[in-house]
Amino acid sequence: MGYQIDVAKPVDKKFARRFPKEKDRNKIIQTFGRLKSNPRPPGCKKLIKPLNGYRVWAGRDIRILYTIDDTAKMVRVYKVDYRSSSTLYMFSV
């Protein structure tokens, strides 16, 4: 059985506005699908405090930050943003 994806409300609420290009939205959705079957795919990086969790790329320029709860089989996405964003690591859940 795979993992469930839980997207934080701030990410979900701003998703369409933050990613107006359908191509970018599709990359993100495909990455979410891959995280369901393998939450620690090749190329993901374990983050250190204060962030905790993992980082994976959706294409070359979109970062997805998430945590994994193995007992509940849940992946919680708490940040999705472009690589060049200076506010990426200033977001807290």
Range of the domain at 56: 4-85
* 9's tokens: 């409300």
Quick check: is 75 in a domain?
A: yes
First to last CA, the chain: 27
Its pTM stands at 0.84
Quick check: is 15 in a domain?
A: yes
Quick check: is 67 in a domain?
A: yes
| Helices (H), ranges, the chain | 9-18, 22-37
CA 53 to centroid of chain Cα atoms? 10
Most confident option among 1-5, 60-64, 65-69: 65-69
Quick check: is 81 in a domain?
A: yes
77: domain CATH number is: 3.30.2310.20
Report the number of distinct structural domains present in the chain.
1
The residue ranking higher by pLDDT, 68 or 60, is 68
Question: Using CA atoms, how far apart are residues 13 and 53, in angstroms rounded to an integer?
Answer: 21
